[in-house]
Amino acid sequence: MARVLITSAIPYINGIKHLGNLVGSQLPADLYARFQRATGNEVLFLCATDEHGTPAELAAAKAGKPVEEFCAEMHEVQAGIAKGFGLSFDHFGRSSSPQNHALTQHFAGKLAEAGLIREVDDSQIYSHADGRFLPDRYVEGTCPNCGFEKARGDQCEECTKQLDPTDLINPRSAISGSTDLEVRATKHLFLCQSQMKDQLDAWINSKADWPVLTTSIAKKWLHDGDGLQDRGITRDLDWGIPVKKGTEDWPGMEGKVFYVWFDAPIEYIAAAGEWAEANGKTDADWQRWWRTDMGADDVKYVQFMGKDNVPFHTLSFPATILGSGEPWKLVDHLKSFNYLNYDGGQFSTSQGRGIFMDQALEILPADYWRWWLLSHAPESSDAEFTWENFQQSVNKDLADVLGNFVSRITKFCRSKFGEAVPESAPYGEPEQALIADLTSRIRAYEQHMENMEVRKSAQELRAIWVAGNEYLQSTAPWSTFKTNPDLAATQVRLGLNLIRLYAVLSAPFIPTASEALMQALNCDDSSWPADVEAALSTLPVGHGFSVPENLFAKITDEQREDWQERFAGTRD
């Protein structure tokens, strides 16, 4: 049994996320976690809310609540939505936790001891209209590299170039829109990433199996222009983790907090500590996942994220871990995704464009969204959500292929043999041909899942469903029954066992529907099909079942048109 540590990019606390965020990190991470558990591996799947920085302060102010209260409430909201989508986190933590405070300060102390943090007399944008310093994310302007007019002061979303607020052309406050800005002197701590460039380059070069998207972004940051730059890790804010060297005060840094992009990835580790505490476990229980001197050498660590998060996870966070000089586990595989666009435009939390996760669950069950998003995951290029494509995929894949197969077999069996697996002859030549085909396809499906090839996994799973329909169509038990009831019983027995097999194989993609099938079959044997022929004899003769209700309702043209108008790309 292997051990697999899985983290997905942690969502900001400042609002409910859209479907682009979901498919870019949490959902494919859940797919992989469910598959690994199903095949018998030990999994620790961690996520959290990212609660520090100006986004949290501003959202709390807009809501008229203290920031601590706002974050606590929004954490519960996001946790509830994640549960609604069937995201199977072992722990959904908070970056404001005591564990993350202690670990972030610990790492800062170790980096300082290693000579990898320097104090810099810096300059920061001050907004007279807002009466405050503006963190880099809250300065907007034109990117000097590509000309994108809505670049942020830390990074351009268009070309992904790392920026400083003073680099922007025609800068303005993202809070008020004011251009009455002033550059003021302040002092900050910088992580000396430039000293670790060669070490990080060698480490990235060793990851031959990483997606091209991941390594190309990392290499761009390492080598383009002036190469890897030192990065500020403190901010002039009230809300965040106070700057300390371990447990000691840091002279000159009074009143400052660590930059959210320094403490947020450390929360991956801290979340394991939170998980241990919440479940009555010891420090050794979580450290065996994260410290190589405590047994984490045999852990496979996989991260999932959108491409905009790649630089911080391939460079800054590894620089923190490596620079500490301590035996922390580094990521083994970083699965990154392109963007999911919305109906001719872009999803954008800041601009309120697209379908948000709470809205999606209000109109359709989670499995509808899970299937479409995963089967259209933006792996090799950006993808686009359209209502027409969504309707077509749900109706053809879920309703016509999987749902129709389940309905035809269970209803036919009930009408001719009752609600129990009929007694029948051993499987014959058509059944053996199907078993051989399924065996080949299931092994391919497993390999795609292991390789985190999300779209290919979905395509293979659909082909497995189609194979059952083709068998049913070619053998036609409803016709066979008229002349050879015993043979029809054999075909039905295979079909009922196929439903169980489909429920097991489909659970990582559509867990709610899979659970409903298992309940209808009165079966709790969810063992993965190492031997497909044996798996297709799991339900014995006489085993009772019930006919499930319509597994997937088709989306009508009227519904599609209504939703297309209702979610036209804006959100109040």
Burial 228-265 (b: 16+ CB within 10 A, else e): bbbbbbbbbbebbbebbbeeeebeebeebbbbbbbbbb
DSSP code for 167 = G
Q: pLDDT band for position 571 (50/70/90)?
A: very low
pLDDT of residue 570: 53
- Please tell me whether 146 is known to bind a ligand: yes
Q: List % helix, strand, coil for the chain (3-state, nearest 5).
A: 50, 15, 30
pLDDT at 345: 82
Which residues have CB under 8 Å from 106's CB, separation 6+?
246
Give residue-wise pLDDT tens across range 80-91: 999 999 999 999
Is the pLDDT confidence value at 227 over 70? yes
Identify the pLDDT of residue 572: 43
pLDDT of residue 160: 83
Which tens digit of pLDDT belongs to each residue from 126-159?
999 988 888 887 899 999 999 999 999 988 988 9
What number is the average pLDDT over the span 433-457? 98
| CATH class, 387-535 region | mainly alpha
C-alpha 127/C-alpha 182 separation (Å) is 6
Structure tokens at 563: 């939703």
pLDDT averaged over every residue in the chain: 94
CB 333 within 8 A of CB 28: no
Angle at 12 between CA 369 and CA 220, to 5 degrees: 90
| Percentage above 90 pLDDT, the chain | 85
Confidence (pLDDT) at 343: 86
Between 160 and 48, name the one with better pLDDT. Answer: 48
pLDDT digits (tens, 9 = 90+) for 376-421: 999 999 999 999 999 999 999 999 999 999 999 999 999 999 999 9
Give the whole-angstrom CA distance, residue 27 versus residue 500: 24
Residue 156 counted as an annotated binding residue? yes
- How confident is the model over 514-557, as pLDDT tens digits? 999 999 999 999 999 999 999 999 999 999 999 998 999 999 99
Greatest C-alpha distance within the chain = 91
DSSP 369-403: HHHHHHHT--SSS-EEE-HHHHHHHIIIIIIIIII
Higher pLDDT: 105 or 225? It is 105
Is residue 263 scored above 50 in pLDDT? yes
Q: Which comes out higher in pLDDT, residue 144 or 162?
A: 144
Residue 188 phi/psi, 5-degree rounding, is -140, 165
Nearest to residue 137, comparing CAs of 235, 278, 277? Answer: 235
Residue percentage of the chain with pLDDT more than 70: 98
- pLDDT per position as a tens digit, 175-203: 889 999 999 888 999 999 999 999 999 99
Higher pLDDT, 66 or 54: 66
Q: Give CA angle at 287 (284, 292), nearest 5°.
A: 120
Check the annotation: does 143 bind a ligand. yes
Cβ atoms < 10 Å from Cβ of 40: 11
Average the pLDDT over 320-329 and give the result: 98
Strands 383-385 and 340-342: parallel
pLDDT given for residue 64 in this prediction: 94
pLDDT at 162 over 90: no
> What are 495's two structure tokens?
């079909």
Give the other-Cβ count within 10 Å of 158's Cβ: 14
Residues 142/113, Cβ–Cβ less than 8 Å: no
Residue 164: what residue type? D
Q: What is the pLDDT of residues 340-362, one digit of tens each?
A: 999 888 776 656 667 899 999 99
Amino acid 352: pLDDT: 61
Q: Is the dihedral of CA 110, 114, 120, 124 positive or negative?
A: negative
181 phi and psi angles, rounded to 5 deg:
-115, 155
What is the reported pLDDT for 350?
57
> In terms of pTM, does the model score above 0.75?
yes
Tens digits of per-residue pLDDT, 289-299?
999 999 999 99
- In sequence order, the β-bridge partners of residue 142 are 169
Q: What average pLDDT does this structure show over 304-329?
A: 96
